């Protein structure tokens, strides 16, 4: 099934007040009439957007099955407003909650990629705190990077990067995924410590499927194993892909991801 015209799907939502206000772009594919499958909610990674391969393939999967699909760009990403340098986990979490509240799916499967896995885990904690844990039908995590600021970045900072953080409030790091370097701000690192999830038991109350490449240069597969240790009370399946990289965007990777989504959503 072909996707609907993307121009007709683009919608916007204003999040935050005053100087913190930013306009979030989102695409919401409605479920077909009478379809009761959970909505699929895409949560992208750091500097990724909703036009990426996995996000688009998720919507194609939803369209084929008749399920709703919700995609959006965090502030400073894609076609959303706001400055990337202002971004923090708390800020992007607020936007994710706002989009979900706006779309109001009765039940949903969260699909989080890389940093989106961290946002997904925080979203679940917030929804459960609101007494809405029953809306969660499942969680699919792709190369999840919870607590990546404190677990993967801060322990490996060079002296030059620490100096840049202290003097300029940020440091830059080359990335193979585009011409512009990654920018990590002191604000992001500070906020990351306040949003840690790997400091105790994580309870999602729903089935979890983690897909992780063993050749991932950005998020070592041992990080996924550590996450699994913090999910002792959930039904967790982990798929380790021996030759998989961080993106997991090859056709065979997409097939595995969509199979996991289908198992969670029933279609």
Q: Is residue 1 part of a domain?
A: no
Q: Is residue 21 part of a domain?
A: yes
Give yes or no for residue 8 having a pLDDT over 50.
Answer: no
122 closest CA partner among 203, 4, 186: 203
Phi-psi region of 266 (alpha: psi -120 to 50; beta: other; left: phi over 0): left
In this predicted model, what pLDDT tens digit does every residue of 46-66 receive, in sequence order? 999 999 999 999 999 999 999
Q: Taking the model in full, what pTM does it have?
A: 0.95
Greater confidence, 8 or 237? 237
Range of the domain at 80: 6-265
Q: Is residue 156 part of a domain?
A: yes
Give yes or no for residue 187 having a pLDDT over 70.
Answer: yes
State how beta strands 69-72 and 170-173 pair.
unpaired
Rounded CA gap, 112 and 202, in Å?
Answer: 16
Going by pLDDT thresholds of 50, 70 and 90, the confidence category of residue 176 is: confident
Rounded CA gap, 61 and 262, in Å?
Answer: 9
Lowest mean pLDDT among 84-93, 178-187, 221-230: 178-187
Q: How many domains does the chain have?
A: 1
- What pLDDT does residue 2 have? 41
Q: Is residue 59 part of a domain?
A: yes
In this predicted model, what pLDDT tens digit does every residue of 83-138 receive, in sequence order? 999 999 999 999 999 999 999 999 999 999 999 999 999 999 999 999 999 999 99
Q: Would you say 64 and 31 are in contact if contact means Cβ atoms under 8 Å apart?
A: no
Rounded CA gap, 118 and 111, in Å?
Answer: 11
The domain spanning residue 226 has which CATH number?
A: 3.40.50.1820
Q: Is residue 143 part of a domain?
A: yes
Mean pLDDT of 246-261: 97
Q: What is the DSSP string of the chain?
A: -PPPPHHHHEEEEEESSGGG-EEEEEEEEPPPTT--SPEEEEE--TT--TTSHHHHHHHHHHHHHT--EEEE--TTSTT--S-GGG--HHHHHHHHHHHHHHH--SSEEEEEETHHHHHHHHHHHHHHHTT-GGGEEEEEEES--TTHIIIIIGGG--HHHHHHHHHHSEEEE--TTSSSPEEEEHHHHHHHHHT--TTS----SS-EEEEEETT-SSS-HHHHHHHHHT-TTS-EEEEEETT--SS--SHHHHHHHHHHHHHHHT-
Token pair for 160: 């030059």
Lowest mean pLDDT among 91-95, 173-177, 226-230: 173-177
Nearest 5 degrees, angle CA 167-CA 170-CA 173?
Answer: 125
C-alpha distances in Å from residue 209, one per residue of 18, 144, 192, 234: 39, 11, 24, 10
Greater confidence, 1 or 210? 210
Give yes or no for residue 3 having a pLDDT over 60.
Answer: no
- What pLDDT does residue 5 have? 43
Q: Is residue 240 part of a domain?
A: yes
Rounded CA gap, 50 and 22, in Å?
Answer: 17
Q: Is residue 75 part of a domain?
A: yes
Give yes or no for residue 39 having a pLDDT over 60.
Answer: yes
Mean pLDDT of the chain: 95
Token pair for 104: 């109001």
- What pLDDT does residue 266 have? 86
Give yes or no for residue 197 having a pLDDT over 90.
Answer: yes
Q: Would you say 41 and 70 are in contact if contact means Cβ atoms under 8 Å apart?
A: yes
- What pLDDT does residue 178 have? 74
């Amino acid at each position: 099934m072909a996707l609907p015209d993307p121009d007709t799907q683009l919608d916007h939502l204003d999040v935050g007040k005053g100087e913190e206000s930013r306009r979030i772009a989102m695409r919401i594919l409605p479920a077909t009439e009478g379809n009761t499958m959970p909505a699929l909610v895409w949560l992208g990674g750091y500097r990724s957007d909703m036009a990426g391969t996995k996000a688009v393939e998720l919507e194609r999967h939803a369209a084929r099955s008749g399920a709703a699909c919700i995609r959006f760009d965090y502030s400073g990403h894609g076609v959303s407003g706001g400055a990337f340098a202002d971004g923090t986990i708390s800020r992007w979490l607020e936007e994710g909650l706002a989009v979900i509240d706006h779309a109001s799916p009765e039940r949903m499967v969260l699909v989080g990629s890389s940093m989106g896995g961290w946002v997904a885990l925080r979203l679940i904690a917030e929804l459960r705190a609101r007494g809405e844990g029953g809306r969660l039908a499942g969680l699919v995590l792709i190369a999840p990077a919870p607590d990546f600021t404190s677990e993967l970045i801060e322990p490996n900072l060079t002296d030059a990067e620490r100096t840049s953080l202290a003097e300029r409030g940020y440091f830059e790091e080359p990335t193979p995924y585009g011409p512009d370097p990654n920018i990590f701000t002191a604000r992001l690192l500070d906020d990351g410590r306040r949003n840690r999830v790997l400091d105790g038991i994580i309870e999602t109350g729903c089935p979890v499927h983690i897909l992780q490449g063993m050749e991932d240069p950005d998020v070592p597969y041992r990080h996924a194993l550590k996450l699994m240790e913090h999910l002792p009370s959930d039904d967790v399946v982990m798929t380790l892909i021996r030759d998989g990289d961080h993106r997991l965007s090859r056709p065979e990777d997409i097939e595995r991801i969509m199979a996991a989504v289908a198992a969670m959503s029933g279609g």
